[in-house]
């Protein structure tokens, strides 16, 4: 099929196949892709606003035994700069964050075998009780699998206990690229693709909402990307539990994986990926632009290539900061960036409910 017919088909609301997706991945006219993706975006999310969440992204521990080659963040437990915070310390951090207007805490950490399951439960429970302004968006699939190992409970039972403690959304990290060939190379001690999908499935079936991420621009092939997209599209058909898809490109600095990759994924590839995910993932409500990994300017451009969400304001962000790619941002600045891209900015919560809309042309200072 001609590429333009594939695009037409997608515009008509028909689902595109994996072969067609492969063709799009090899199609380098990003303006054509962007035009279609932007049109689909405006059908799915007709409001002329871009959503964002006021969040913070702290870590409770950087101790990890998984040794993923793309990770610049983790330490082994005996290294001098290894840390693990107590629940009290974390609650204090959340309280400070709440005072600054933060509504969501995206919390992830290393997979630290010394932490008992009770630590995690307490963290969720006390957050709900002591800092009710904050929505806990805690723990990637790797940590959940870690909890299952530490506690001897099944993944499903871990999720049930966490849910009882008050958790109802989890972040989509840890997916990297759902290809066991790649995973064996870059994160061989981490779970398989099936493990990631399985945690997500169980979570969705229990009523959790989650996001899905994809890290590209390392050693994956186009086929790996398609497998990834196909897997999450199928799971979404089954459960409907995904809120948003967040592709981001691998940043090599300070990581062991760096040696095996010649360069960053180009901004072209990123915009192509945003557009293609909007076109292919017809059952995902939102596509998120990852300005913190791609840079603010490219983040803004992505909003015209199919993304309708600008992610979080990230009051504190350790994972990327450690990779020498510091892009801190305040709520004001995020609103400014969205306005600069030509949209109104809508503050949302973790479940994508709109809290407040900041119109373009209205002085932000007065309204924040």
Residues in touch with ligand SF4 (CB under 6 A): 64, 66-68, 71, 73-74, 110-111, 142, 187, 190
DSSP 111-162: --TTS-HHHHHHHHHHHHHH-TTPEEEE--HHHHHHHHHHH---HHHHHHHH
User: Helix/strand/coil (H, E, C) string of 273-313?
Assistant: HHHHHHHHCCCCCEEECCHHHHCHHHHHHHCCCCCCEEEEC
Residue 217: which residues within 8 A CB-CB, separation 6 or more? 249, 250, 261, 264, 265, 269, 270
66 versus 261: smaller Cβ distance to ligand SF4: 66
> CA 97, 203, 40, 179 torsion: positive or negative?
positive
Phi and psi for 247 in degrees, rounded to 5?
A: -85, 145
Q: In the bound complex, what is the minimum distance in angstroms from residue 96's beta carbon to other proteins?
A: 24
Q: In the bound complex, what is the minimum distance in angstroms from residue 299's beta carbon to other proteins?
A: 8
Q: 74 touches which of ligand SF4, other proteins, none (CB within 5 to 8 A by kind)?
A: ligand SF4
Q: 53 touches which of other proteins, ligand SF4, none (CB within 5 to 8 A by kind)?
A: none
111 versus 115: smaller Cβ distance to ligand SF4: 111
Q: Is 122 in the site for other proteins (CB under 8 A)?
A: no
Neighbours of 352 (CB within 10 A): 17
CA 137 to CA 364: how far, in whole Å?
Answer: 27
Q: Is 40 in the site for other proteins (CB under 8 A)?
A: no
Q: In the bound complex, what is the minimum distance in angstroms from residue 81's beta carbon to ligand SF4?
A: 14
Distinct helix (H) and strand (E) counts, the chain: 16, 11
Residue 102: which residues within 8 A CB-CB, separation 6 or more? 54, 55, 56, 133, 134, 315
Q: Is 357 in the site for other proteins (CB under 8 A)?
A: no
Which position among 5, 15, 19, 42 is part of the footprint of other proteins (CB under 8 A)? Answer: 42
4 versus 234: smaller Cβ distance to other proteins: 4
Packed helices 222-239 and 193-205: angle between N→C axes, nearest 10 degrees:
20
67 versus 89: smaller Cβ distance to ligand SF4: 67
Q: Are 216 and 269 in contact (CB under 8 A)?
A: yes
Q: In the bound complex, what is the minimum distance in angstroms from residue 146's beta carbon to ligand SF4?
A: 8
CA 289 to CA 292: how far, in whole Å?
Answer: 9
Count of residues in contact with other proteins, rule CB under 8 A: 33
Q: In the bound complex, what is the minimum distance in angstroms from residue 191's beta carbon to other proteins?
A: 33
Site string for other proteins, 317-356 (x = CB under 8 A): ----------------x--xx--xxx--------------
Which position among 304, 312, 313, 319 is part of the footprint of other proteins (CB under 8 A)? Answer: 304
Q: 111 touches which of ligand SF4, other proteins, none (CB within 5 to 8 A by kind)?
A: ligand SF4
Binding site for other proteins (CB under 8 A): 4, 27-31, 34-35, 38-39, 42, 48, 263, 266-269, 271, 294-298, 300-301, 304-305, 333, 336-337, 340-342
């Amino acid at each position: 099929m001609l590429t333009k017919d594939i695009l037409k088909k997608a515009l008509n609301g028909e689902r595109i196949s994996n072969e067609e997706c492969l063709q799009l991945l090899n199609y380098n006219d990003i303006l054509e892709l962007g035009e279609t993706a932007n049109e689909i975006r405006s059908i799915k999310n007709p409001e002329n606003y871009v959503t964002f969440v006021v969040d913070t992204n702290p870590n409770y521990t950087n101790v990890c035994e998984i040794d993923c080659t793309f990770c610049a963040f983790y330490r082994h437990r005996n290294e001098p700069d290894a840390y693990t915070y107590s629940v009290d310390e974390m609650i204090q951090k959340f309280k400070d964050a709440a005072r600054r207007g933060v509504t969501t805490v995206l919390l992830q950490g290393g997979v630290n075998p010394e932490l008992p399951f009770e630590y995690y439960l307490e963290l969720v429970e006390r957050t709900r009780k002591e800092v009710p302004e904050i929505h806990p968006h805690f723990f990637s699939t790797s940590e959940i699998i870690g909890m299952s190992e530490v506690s001897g409970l099944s993944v499903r039972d871990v999720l049930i206990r966490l849910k009882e403690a008050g958790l109802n959304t989890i972040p989509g990290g840890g997916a990297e690229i759902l290809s066991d060939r790649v995973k064996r190379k870059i994160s061989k001690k981490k779970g398989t693709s099936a493990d990631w999908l399985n945690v997500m499935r169980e979570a969705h079936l229990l009523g959790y909402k989650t996001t899905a991420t994809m890290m590209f621009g390392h050693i994956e092939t186009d086929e790996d990307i398609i497998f990834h997209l196909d897997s999450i599209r199928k799971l979404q058909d089954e459960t409907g539990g995904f809120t948003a898809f967040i592709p981001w490109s691998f940043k090599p600095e300070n990581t062991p994986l760096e040696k095996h990759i010649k360069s960053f994924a180009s901004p072209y590839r990123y915009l192509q990926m945003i557009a293609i995910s909007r076109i292919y993932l017809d059952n995902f409500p939102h596509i998120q632009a990852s300005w913190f990994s791609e840079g603010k300017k490219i983040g803004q451009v992505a909003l015209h290539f199919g993304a309708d969400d600008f992610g979080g304001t990230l009051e504190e962000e350790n994972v990327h900061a450690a990779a020498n790619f510091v892009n801190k941002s305040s709520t004001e600045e995020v609103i400014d960036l969205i306005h600069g891209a030509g949209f109104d900015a809508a503050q949302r919560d973790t479940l994508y409910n709109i809290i407040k809309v900041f119109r373009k042309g209205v002085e932000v200072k007065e309204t924040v």
